Amino acid sequence: MFHKEGFKIILVTLFIVIGVSLIAHYFVDILWLKKGIQLLAIIFLIAILQFFRNPKRVTPQNDQHIIAPVDGKVVVIEEVFEKEYFKDKRLQISIFMSPINVHVTRYALGGKVTYSEYHPGKYLVAWHPKASEENERTTVVVDNPVFGEVLYRQIAGALAKRIVNYAKVGDTAVQGEDAGFIKFGSRVDVYLPLGTKVKVKLGDKVKGGVQVIAEK
């Protein structure tokens, strides 16, 4: 129901909400103010629970498909020069996550993890053109029997302060399974071979672990 990365924050928030509610109950005499404080505390708890939710998704395993790695909105579909790993042109699909989206990162395809690197950096807004090069980010490459090597990049945004990446070199990536989490942020870029058929368009809202965004 909730992602393991949120357990500590949820527990701390729960204690804070209980404490604030009790203080308001015993020490605030004005009824509307007391109820207002308690209501705001509950709303804050609900927001935290909502952010760390981890809905169960069933992903049909298909090496011909690239599945959306996260929930969010498609904000980039273009050919770009990928500088870090491929050092050649790739088809980039970027998905932006708002604070209300599920922030679990899932493997977009199955295969063997051949590259996994963390890069500290800035916290520019996720849609900034330089975010994929200058923000805090992780880069992971999965070698798939149909697509070959496919790169995905978790990118922190203005609010995100911690990226969690579970992929390690040598791991077997299972399509749709949990690959990480971005706390309070922000964007995932997928770099595909040129000529890959794109199944989404700019502005589409996609569902991680379920929706096909590209196919061979």
**Amino acid residing at 147:** F
Helix axes 31-51, 7-27, angle to 10 degrees: 180
Note if 98 is an active site residue. Answer: no
Token look-up 């491929």 returns: 86
CB-based contact 181:111 (threshold 8 Å): no
Catalytic residue among 21, 116, 132, 186: 186
Closest CA to 154 of 184, 195, 110, 111: 184
List, by residue number, the catalytic residues: 186
